[in-house]
Structure 1
Amino acid sequence: MSVKIVSVAKQLPKHSRKTLEVLPFLDQWLISQDERFRRKVKKIFEGAAVDERYSIMDPVEVFTATSFEEKNNIYVREAINLGEKVLEKALKKANWKPQTLDYIITVSCTGIMIPSLDAYLINKLNLKQDIVRLPVTEMGCAGGVSGIIYAKKFLEANPNKRAALIAVEAPTATFQLEDFSMANIVSAAIFGDGSSCALLSSYEEDLGPKILAEEMYHFYNKEKMMGFQLTNSGLKMILDIEVPDTIATHFPEIIHPFLAKENLKIEDINYLIFHPGGKKIVQMVEEMFKELGKNIDETKEILRLYGNMSSATVLYVLEEIMKKNPQEGEKGLMLSFGPGFSAQRVLLEW
């Protein structure tokens, strides 16, 4: 019995702006700052390797002083809308009826809602009453791969079952208007909003790349490198400048022993399904993979088109790989990093 990823779908919010269209909003936001600082911030946005970003809010709303409650209310409303649409898309792709789902995982770290998104989706799509729910909040950018791992564990233990993983993120809802720190500025420059869904199955007749292996890797004593601080004005980004270097230091230990357990080397991997955390991380990983004769072109393209949509983004990369219709026996490595600090890995075979 194997667990397979049967379909992947994405859904974008209705608002979007090219990076050049965002710059006038920065002028207004930074009006009280000195000219040198304003130029620096603009350069960060222009050099972020993100051409366009989508949002659950119009830019005017993003750059308007509102309370945590007001922005979180928008997050809740739009998360339900995006979650419903992306799950419907994925089900249609797989030709599954909603009632055939046995397990639903919802992933998001950019807002707060109780009951969680999965409860709303059960009612919106009339999912079965005994469906097993797992809402995941605190895994950050790693949540997409983490969700794949959780779904695989459930399905591995339960033959002839189906699972849905829905990731919905709205980093623009966490933008801090009174915070001129580099963490807030860099996150605003690289992040965008979006949602994605993966359907997994332990039915023999369901087709898709099978999950050969999955593991998490935890960096000791690095809890403060990445995450959110809950403040009166909302979720305040924590983003240490040492993140790329920390990843680089651990990279060999993250990749090679994981593959070795399956008697594989990086040369045996056909597709690198890497979460586009940001330009610096992407460049660093690209250099490392280039030395091994591999590329992360799909990752770079997703970053350019949409920005980093936290947990949802890695499934955008996976969808692009699946569109290529890989040959039987070809392998893919999914990889993402998130708060903890941790790395999440999944090995796929078509």
Structure 2
Amino acid sequence: MNDVKIVTVAKQLPEYSRETAAILPLVEFWLQNQDERFRRKVLKIFEGAAVDKRFSIMKPEEVFTASSFEEKNAIYAREVKKLGVQVLKNALKKSNWKADSIDYIITVSCTGIMIPSLDAYIINDLDLREDIVRLPVTEMGCAAGVSGIIYAKNFLKANPNKRAAVIAVESPTATFQLEDYSMANMVSAAIFGDGAACVLLSSEEDATGPKIIGEGMYHFKDATQMMGFDLTNEGLKMILDPAVPATIAEHFPKIIHPFLAKHHSSIEKVEHLIFHPGGRKIVQTVEELFGALGKNIDDTREVLRLYGNMSSVTVLYVLERFLDRNLEKGAQGIMLSFGPGFSAQRVLLEW
């Protein structure tokens, strides 16, 4: 039986960080020429975002000073290379793997543009094999952490005795728009932070860790306008429809129950919810939906509080919390994230 297991998850944070309270004066300064009611509303959004702290590849002061798309993308490219290399090193150390034992590398990022993609630089820096199979995932937004695991699982299922690394590195602060006073920009500025994560997976017989017993994607038809980026001369401009939480709630039963039934499971059997913290409202919506089923998403809320929403990276920080606990044999967990498309990505795990 060719099982695919998640062997380890590691994280790496950028060097700069600030408590939300320390960011508020910068927000006030940024919005000084705006209407006072608007300013108060935005400060309330920051205060009520359920994010206590966030990390950044730039000093917070740099984030709030005008710079061109070119300059911000250059900082993104420079810093994500460092974070990507370091987070893979962290994961290799945690699992006692050698760098040249990896057969498949998937890099995930949607907050900047790099060609060649991040994986090429990681291969060179850590001297990975010349015949390693590369897959950069660039346009799936917040869902891509789970997407990367799905692609790795399919590769490993088809190839016994192989190893894969999924490396997600995001810098939403590099996409922050100084001249955009839309609510989408305000909300995203209030919830997003930067970070990196790496998941190592294996189809070797002696691999340890929870096995992937099911995976699937769910596409919301005719919902491309819900979430994403517009590419403008100033950079990547956030699109965020306020209807996202309500749309998730509407589709929720169809996303969860048929998927679990297909893999001979049910919500009663799934004890552990590894959910992407998209933002306070999405977390509240999903918490109510799962709460009605007798489950909690405390780890999701805690990751949002400690780091903010780091796009594709965030769900992997939630996953790490579960992997670091020695869960009982047979326990099941469902990974769930939402992203542009609009789509839901799911992975069912068994310890």
TM-score where L is the length of structure 2: 0.99
Matches within 5 A, 1:1-350: 1-350=2-351
Distance 2:180 2:262 in 1: 45
Q: CA deviation at 1:206?
A: 1.2
Distance 2:155 2:266 in 1: 28
Give the secondary-structure state (helix, strand or coil) at the position aligned to 1:295: coil
Q: Where does structure 1 lack aligned partners over 5 or more consecutive residues?
A: none
Q: CA deviation at 1:267?
A: 1.1
Distance 1:255 1:18 in 2: 35
Q: CA deviation at 1:269?
A: 0.5
Distance 1:19 1:95 in 2: 37
Distance 1:149 1:92 in 2: 24
Distance 2:207 2:269 in 1: 25
Deviates more, 1:304-313 or 1:262-271: 262-271
Distance 1:54 1:323 in 2: 22
Give the secondary-structure state (helix, strand or coil) at the position aligned to 1:64: coil
Q: CA deviation at 1:323?
A: 1.3
Distance 2:324 2:99 in 1: 23
1:157 maps to a residue whose letter is A
Distance 1:226 1:262 in 2: 29
Distance 1:298 1:27 in 2: 31
2:103 maps to a residue whose letter is D
Q: CA deviation at 1:342?
A: 0.2
Q: CA deviation at 1:322?
A: 1.1
Residue correspondences, number: 350
- Encode CA deviations 1:312-343: one digit per residue, 9 max, x unaligned: 00010000011111111001000000000000
1:3 maps to a residue whose letter is V
1:24 maps to a residue whose letter is P
Q: CA deviation at 1:65?
A: 0.6
Distance 2:220 2:28 in 1: 39
Distance 1:270 1:87 in 2: 29
Give the secondary-structure state (helix, strand or coil) at the position aligned to 1:227: strand
Distance 2:268 2:213 in 1: 17
Give the secondary-structure state (helix, strand or coil) at the position aligned to 1:31: coil
Give the secondary-structure state (helix, strand or coil) at the position aligned to 1:228: strand
1:41 maps to a residue whose letter is V
Q: Where does structure 2 lack aligned partners over 5 or more consecutive residues?
A: none
2:225 maps to a residue whose letter is K
Distance 1:324 1:46 in 2: 31
Q: CA deviation at 1:264?
A: 1.5
Q: CA deviation at 1:270?
A: 1.4
Q: CA deviation at 1:134?
A: 0.2
Distance 2:294 2:247 in 1: 23
- Encode CA deviations 1:49-77: one digit per residue, 9 max, x unaligned: 00001000001110011000000000001
- Encode CA deviations 1:125-149: one digit per residue, 9 max, x unaligned: 0000000000010000000000000
TM-score where L is the length of structure 1: 1.00
Q: CA deviation at 1:263?
A: 2.1
Give the secondary-structure state (helix, strand or coil) at the position aligned to 1:270: strand
Supply the RMSD in Å over aligned alpha carbons.
Answer: 0.5
What percent identity do the matched residue pairs reach?
A: 72
